[in-house]
Amino acid sequence: MKQILMVGAGSVGGFFGAHLVKANLSVSFLLRRKTLAAVKQNGLTIRSAGSSFTVHPPAASDPRYFPKPDLIVLSVKAYDLDEVLTQIEPVLTDKTVILTLQNGVDTEDRILARFQRDCVVGGIAYIYTKIAAPGVIDHYKKGAVAIGELMGNQSARLLAIADLFKQAGIPCQLVDDIRRSKWEKMCWNCVFNPLTVMIDDKVSKALDHPEMLGVIHQIVGEIVAVAASAKVPLAADMAEKVVRWTSEIRDIHTSMYDDWKAGRPTEIDSLNGYVAKLGRQFGIPTPLNDLLTAVIKTITERERTGPGIVRIDGAVVQPVSLDRAAIASLPAEHHLDISTVMPGMNGKGIHVSGLLNIPALAIGADHVTVHSADGKYSVCLTLQQAREHGVLVYELDGASLPVAKGGPFRLVTPGLGDLCANVKGVSRIEVTIGTGMDTRSTNC
């Protein structure tokens, strides 16, 4: 295997790929724009406690820039897999081998289903690293891999991959049952990745409480049951093994924790979410994995913005964002038939007073400014005017108010007369202390 393509230079791929480059192997990197710019300018740097080094590998955002690879190492997040497979498909040959170094247990099957040929070697990374900056990886603990054929045989290609890691000084274990090994790591990931986010702390915080140990046993018990139904039997003492493995790395955060803190998406759907999904298919209850999936999504997913969302902020205790469904679910007494205020139109609106009841307003708040999404238009009403006369139109003929009619949200103020206010494309309702921006002309 002469030509190696590393897909991604994150905390895992960056570390292993840099070591392969350092060993003078022919390694190229397929990178996204921000990381690509950093690596081209400064190289790829690995900073470890004992030493640091920088390599300058070939890098591009299109794999067709490089010679066709003999080995492709995937180290991207599980949720990026489909996009990456589309990228690498043009450079695959009948002999190209794909090594997976990703969390989760379904990556290999997804690749096989996509390419319909035996091109996959399963892999597991055992390492604790963090992305310090694009192209800069901080390495703290471990740095080994386990690889195996899905059928359990020790093939020539498997031995060739192991030799590449050996040349780079990377410990590489050959595993007879890589699916089982991946499910074992799945048990660890499904416990400590979500728990460190929920407790906002290191692994040790979860280990140090006897009550949490019981929860860990329940989480792993669900995974063991699901794995057995997937024809991957795990040890009866799997939970004890998970706790034992963790004792040497108790001072770490997890990759999910780091992703959350960095504002990146998490792999929850490929971990606990996948266990819950299989559980439903097999008829196996997975209440704790269901809970962990839901809680992590609630904690980590960013507040939605953009078209179809209206945000209430400013002089409020806590801003809130609402879509059409959330607005429609508010108490019925706040809604009205818009034909009563916009004759000839069949739809729904909500009194602004109902929206202002959701956040707790700051003491002294006395005005409300309604802004259009493009930032060009706004109106400022007294709090009393907004409560008594403001209507946010959100629906027309059973669907979202179209942009052509001022949607997806439009402010009208029937009853204000010469002080009428009409803002199309509303995206923000700002509560203020004192007057806010008003772009109305004297002739409304």
- Specify the pLDDT at position 107: 95
pLDDT tens sequence across 279-312: 999 999 999 999 999 999 999 987 666 778 999 9
Assess whether 213 and 118 both reside in one domain.
Answer: no
Name the residue among 27, 89, 24 with its Cα closest to residue 62. Answer: 89
Say which residues have a Cβ less than 8 Å from residue 355's Cβ, sequence separation at least 6. 312, 322, 327, 330, 334, 392, 429
Assess whether 138 and 213 both reside in one domain.
Answer: no
User: What is the average per-residue pLDDT within 313-328?
Assistant: 93
**Cα of 100 vs its chain's centroid, Å:** 19
Q: Answer yes or no: is 437 within a domain.
A: no
Assess whether 150 and 239 both reside in one domain.
Answer: no
- Specify the pLDDT at position 304: 67
Least confident of 49-53, 65-69, 94-98, 133-137: 49-53
Least confident of 207-221, 347-361, 409-423: 409-423
Domain boundary pick from 302, 321, 348: 302
Assess whether 246 and 324 both reside in one domain.
Answer: no
Whichever domain contains 412, its CATH number is: 3.90.420.10
Taking the C-alpha atoms of residue 25 and residue 5, their distance in angstroms, rounded to an integer, is 11
Cα-based distances in Å from 272 to 139, 193, 234, 260:
26, 9, 17, 16
* Residues, the chain: 444
Taking the C-alpha atoms of residue 260 and residue 335, their distance in angstroms, rounded to an integer, is 37
Assess whether 4 and 77 both reside in one domain.
Answer: yes
Averaged pLDDT score across all residues of the chain: 93
Residue 20 tokens read as 């392969």
Q: Answer yes or no: is 442 within a domain.
A: no
pLDDT tens sequence across 75-131: 999 999 999 999 999 999 999 999 999 999 999 999 999 999 999 999 999 999 999
More confident of the two residues 353 and 442 = 353
Domain boundary pick from 285, 302, 319: 302
pLDDT above 90 as % of the chain: 85
- Do residues 68 and 91 touch, judged by C-beta distance below 8 A? yes
Taking the C-alpha atoms of residue 150 and residue 158, their distance in angstroms, rounded to an integer, is 11
Domain boundary pick from 302, 330, 349: 302
Q: Answer yes or no: is 440 within a domain.
A: no
Least confident of 17-26, 206-215, 271-280, 430-439: 206-215
Assess whether 46 and 167 both reside in one domain.
Answer: yes
421 pLDDT higher than 90: no
Name the residue among 347, 358, 334 with its Cα closest to residue 402. Answer: 347
Name the residue among 369, 362, 379, 366 with its Cα closest to residue 430. Answer: 369
Q: Answer yes or no: is 439 within a domain.
A: no
Taking the C-alpha atoms of residue 211 and residue 70, their distance in angstroms, rounded to an integer, is 50
396 pLDDT higher than 80: yes
Assess whether 164 and 18 both reside in one domain.
Answer: yes
- Specify the pLDDT at position 418: 72
Whichever domain contains 89, its CATH number is: 3.40.50.720
442 pLDDT higher than 70: no
365 pLDDT higher than 70: yes
Assess whether 68 and 195 both reside in one domain.
Answer: no
222 pLDDT higher than 70: yes
Q: Answer yes or no: is 183 within a domain.
A: yes
Name the residue among 59, 52, 70, 62 with its Cα closest to residue 13. Answer: 59
Assess whether 146 and 123 both reside in one domain.
Answer: yes
CB-hemisphere CA count at 13 Å for 31?
24
In the chain, how many domains are there?
3
Assess whether 327 and 221 both reside in one domain.
Answer: no
User: What is the average per-residue pLDDT within 172-178?
Assistant: 96
Q: Answer yes or no: is 438 within a domain.
A: no
**Residue 243 identity (one-letter amino acid):** V
User: What is the average per-residue pLDDT within 342-367?
Assistant: 92
Whichever domain contains 237, its CATH number is: 1.10.1040.10
Q: Answer yes or no: is 441 within a domain.
A: no
Q: State which residues form the domain around 18.
A: 1-176
Cα-based distances in Å from 87 to 18, 52, 80, 92, 443:
22, 31, 11, 10, 56
User: What is the average per-residue pLDDT within 137-145?
Assistant: 93
387 pLDDT higher than 90: yes
- Name the maximum alpha-carbon separation found in the chain: 84
Assess whether 183 and 169 both reside in one domain.
Answer: no
Burial tier of 64 (Cβ tally within 10 Å: 0-12, 13-18, 19+): exposed
443 pLDDT higher than 50: no
User: What is the average per-residue pLDDT within 151-155?
Assistant: 93
Assess whether 14 and 125 both reside in one domain.
Answer: yes
Cis peptide bond N-terminal to 359, omega within 30: no
